[in-house]
Structure 1
Amino acid sequence: MQNERLRALMASGGWTHASLASATGVDPKSVERWVNLGRTPRRATALLAAETLGEDVHALWPALRQARAARAVSPELVALYDQRADLPVSVFVDLLTTARERIDVLVYAAVFLHEAYPRLNDLLRERAADGCTVRIAIGDADSENVRQRGQEERFGHGIESRCRLALMHYRPLADVPGIELRTHGTTLYNSLYRADGEVLVNAHVWGVNAYGAPVWHLRRHEAGGMFDTYADSFNAVWETARPVKE
């Protein structure tokens, strides 16, 4: 997802990737990713870039207004966000890109990933080709729990339709070595997006769509911590899920 505001501002001021990179002390490829992939720089770098361009930092990177630093209540808590809508899709994509050993995704649908990042399947294929184990668990559209979720969110049959759409998106991966796709019918308390020792946990709130519910970013610190709790939860659901055939 391109940052068109940043692109236009740079063009009007005669800034190139290289010149803005020089002014902010980063690599030109970093600036290129800000523009072409919609990546959000670190807060200090973003503030310097915005000052250099004469623009409000939140106008260039709205996510910086919404992100809240995690309080030091757990060594595993990296960041806390008020709602999933506060996170640019690049946060999810960047996390999955870092995976070297394992990717686990547990959702009902989460079609926002494919809609905002059409290369998602290619990314997962690339990770699997590099030796990463990829497990994707999506909601069974015929599950009573999925239907109940739609009623609770006053979403009607929308959630069931989105589960079917998610299956359509992911089905081409069903025969890819290193990738396994399953459907589950469990009550989904949290959506999980794991890459090795990190996970984004999208909590679910009764009557609220997932995009309006909080997200916490965890990084494994020691055995038996919060990260392991969610990793074990994924494994428990995975055991109940049914493999999707090509």
Structure 2
Amino acid sequence: MANERLRAVMAAGGWTHADLAGVVEVDPKSVERWVNLGRTPRRGTALRAAETLGEDVHALWPQLRQARSARAVSAELVALYAQRADLPVSAFVNLLAQARRQIDVLVYGAVFLHEAYPRLNDLLRERAADGCAIRIAVGDADNANVQQRGQEERFGHGIESRCRLALMHYRPLASEPGVEIRTHGTTLYNSLYRADDEVLVNAHVWGVNAYAVPVWHLRSDGSAGMFGTYADSFEAVWKSARPVEG
């Protein structure tokens, strides 16, 4: 069933599918589906579209009000995975590849990225060359907090080795314009992989390796919500981290 309210508002304002799609950063076919098939966009996208059109979001998509009251789940949650191993590496790569403004990575090692996708450094160079600001924070292998994590995971010196290996992978990028590499010694509660307004959060669970614990995919809806909490967490760690020279 067509969304006649949305169709009328767009017609009154002279908005084409392509015009609205360009502003809210979706494919024009998505807007066509909203209008002609009555599809409901994600809440963050719907909020941007409604603001652009000068309308109340629930007047255009009443389903959003119903969906929100029906379940106590954050509108920022895109997906939840039982463990990191359930995600193909392409999920991380594609997220970073779509970034246009900002990439932030906070990990201890996460060497699985370079091992499964050897072009990762090339991808990051390309993003930086296009004006994307890139910040990578990896664990300081000599820090007591990092070493303690290895003991808790029953991985011994393995985590220290992964931190050193990660630094070897990323160090060549330290001299690239637009790229900053730092090492940190924080007690890390989550690994973060951010691209613009989206982030993959890999939880850390005592005694369990990161590949076997949950990951949630968040997309900012413009509020000071879950996404903002993790963004602030990254900033706090980044301030305490030590720069790596190229």
TM-score norm. by structure 1 comes to 0.71
State the shift of 1:222 in Å.
Answer: 2.2
Q: 1:115-168 CA deviation, whole Å, 9 max, x = no partner?
A: 000000000000000000000000000010110000000000000001000000
Distance in 1 separating the partners of 2:202 and 2:162: 17
Alignment match, 2:150: 150
Alignment match, 2:197: 197
Q: Which amino acid aligns with 2:213?
A: A
Distance in 2 separating the partners of 1:197 and 1:72: 22
Give the secondary structure class of the aligned counterpart of 2:165.
helix
Distance in 1 separating the partners of 2:200 and 2:193: 5
Q: What pairs with 1:81-230 in structure 2 (closer than 5 Å)? A: 81-230=81-230
Give the secondary structure class of the aligned counterpart of 1:182.
strand
State the shift of 1:245 in Å.
Answer: 0.7
After TM superposition, the runs of 4+ consecutive aligned structure 1 residues lying more than 4 A away are none
Distance in 1 separating the partners of 2:92 and 2:72: 23
Q: 1:201-237 CA deviation, whole Å, 9 max, x = no partner?
A: 0000000000001000000012310000000000000
Q: Which amino acid aligns with 2:210?
A: A
Q: What pairs with 1:13-92 in structure 2 (closer than 5 Å)? A: 73-92=73-92
Computing the radius of gyration from Cα coordinates, the structure with the larger value is 2
Distance in 1 separating the partners of 2:145 and 2:231: 21
Identity of aligned residues (%): 81
State the shift of 1:72 in Å.
Answer: 6.2
Give the secondary structure class of the aligned counterpart of 1:80.
strand
Q: Which amino acid aligns with 1:100?
A: R
